[in-house]
Structure 1
Amino acid sequence: MQKDRTFVRITFYFVVASMAISLCSTAWKILIGHQGKYSLVAAEVAAGLLLVLVPAFLSRIFRFQLPTFLYFFFMAFIYCAIYLGDAYRFYYIPYWDKFLHLISGALLLGLGFAVLGLLQKQPGRLSPAFLCLYGIAFAVFCGVLWEFYEFSVDSFFAMNLQRYAAKGRDLPGRAALMDTMGDLFADAAGSALFSLYAYWRLKKDPAWLTSFFFKKS
């Protein structure tokens, strides 16, 4: 587990350093007269950096340990979604959003393990197979809740989060389902892939499950 924590620490330094350098560079461009072009980029990078740093600060203030892999996937998701996706327009890359759903599937499986640690006194007694099936079910359920959210926002505010329309026209039949079902497939695939790794780790060391738990430091 010490190796896992070292890996996550290196990831943290990389994410924070790259965002901080990018924020300084963007701020300089704003100062020399490119406000309109770079103001939004600066705001998005700052938001991403803040989201990564806040959990680390809270863990120090309230003296608890951040779950190792849960925090890793959280940082990866924020980096790819806000920093690369929004600030640097990676969303224009085909299937970038599906790649993000793969990451979120693994993140949500880890969150399921963390929730289990809060609710179950002795989760280590559960079999690795059950834990992985539970994690996949939890992740896919959260993915469904997210699609409920997108559907509700689209219904009331017509924001097209589910990509049901193109060029101002509603898509017919199967075409209108492609984005939603693609997201759910990616959620399931991401959680399933990470569950294979989780199963292998749990078979070797059942205590690995505790790396997803919030513990006092």
Structure 2
Amino acid sequence: MSRVFADQTLLAKLIWGALGLSVLDALFQGNWPLAAVALATLALSLAPVFAARWAEIVIPPSFITAIVLFVGSTLFLGEVFDFYDRFWWWDVAMHGGSAIGLGLVGFVMIFMMFQGDRYAAPPIAMAFFSFCFALAMGALWEIFEYGMDSLFGMNMQRTGLDDTMRDLMVDVGGALIGAASGFAYLKGLEYGGLPGIIDEFVRRNPRLFRRGGGGRR
């Protein structure tokens, strides 16, 4: 496990360290809400590392860093420092980033089902299904926000229908970017950027993509 953490980026380690210090400082000051949020943020940002270890897969450090940044920005900065209200574009950025990530995850999951066979289905079809996966996850999140507002009197939707529709439109844009990255990868354009992340995941997990030869050569 120590090797897994050693392979992570310096930025991810710094964020984990800052969150750990925030938990200790909040506990020392008796600020229980801050301690709870900081601890939840730390736990959720570490969850992919332990999940990958349990599933015996290797997640590229760059993708782990993106997850850590997203979770920290959503929960810690968004809720503790009220970034959602201070910056109108914060919610847009969070939804767009998550949709891109889900588009990549959706593509990788579908590619795993075909064991890395690039010719098992047309690239446009695989990209379409990864787009649908990302958009479906975005829609489920909006249902979750509605449920939290209705059942517990929270204000996750803020402006109601306008907020929901804006979030879904941003999700569409992010899902398109994630799906397009998968399409570019299948077309052999995996030279850095988001397609490069897919290629790195495939190369680091050859047993899951036997028919594809373990990524670009």
Code of the residue aligned with 2:90 in structure 1: it is: W
Code of the residue aligned with 1:16 in structure 2: it is: K
1:154–1:160 contact (8 Å) kept in structure 2: yes
1:48–1:79 contact (8 Å) kept in structure 2: yes
Which residue pairs with 1:53 in the alignment?
46
1:182 deviates by: 0.6
The number of residue pairs the alignment matches comes to 193
Residues 119-160 of structure 1 show CA distances to partners (whole Å, capped at 9, x for unaligned) of: 334552233333222222221122112222223333444433
- For 1:135 and 1:64, the matched residues in 2 are separated by 20
Which residue pairs with 1:190 in the alignment?
174
Matched, 1:76 2:69: yes
2:124–2:183 contact (8 Å) kept in structure 1: yes
Compare 178-187 and 153-162 and name the one that shifted more.
153-162
Residues 21-60 of structure 1 show CA distances to partners (whole Å, capped at 9, x for unaligned) of: 35325634653xx324xx3223322222222223223433
Which residue pairs with 1:105 in the alignment?
99
Matched, 1:131 2:126: yes
- For 2:100 and 2:113, the matched residues in 1 are separated by 20
SS at match of 1:204: coil
Which residue pairs with 2:89 in the alignment?
95
State percent identity of aligned pairs: 25
2:130–2:179 contact (8 Å) kept in structure 1: yes
Match of 1:204 among 172, 178, 188: 188
Change (3 A) 1:134 1:105: same
- For 2:52 and 2:36, the matched residues in 1 are separated by 25
Match of 1:116 among 110, 113, 124: 110
1:211 deviates by: 4.7
Match of 2:11 among 9, 14, 17: 14
Change (3 A) 1:40 1:16: farther
SS at match of 1:65: coil
Under a length normalisation based on structure 2, what TM-score does the superposition of the two structures give? 0.71
Change (3 A) 1:154 1:109: same
- For 1:201 and 1:61, the matched residues in 2 are separated by 27
Matched, 1:40 2:38: no
Residues 83-123 of structure 1 show CA distances to partners (whole Å, capped at 9, x for unaligned) of: 32223332222131121000110121122123313433455
Code of the residue aligned with 1:189 in structure 2: it is: G
Change (3 A) 1:210 1:202: same
1:67 deviates by: 5.9
Q: Which has the higher contact order (CA 8 A, sep 6+)?
A: 1
Change (3 A) 1:41 1:190: same
Unaligned ranges ≥5, structure 1: 1-7, 165-175
**Counterparts of 1:20-35 in structure 2 under 5 Å?**
20-24=17-21, 27-28=24-25, 31=28, 34-35=29-30
Unaligned ranges ≥5, structure 2: 1-6, 209-217
- For 2:62 and 2:129, the matched residues in 1 are separated by 17
Change (3 A) 1:68 1:112: farther
Instruction: Kindly report the root-mean-square deviation, in angstroms, between the aligned alpha carbons of the 2 structures.
Output: 3.2
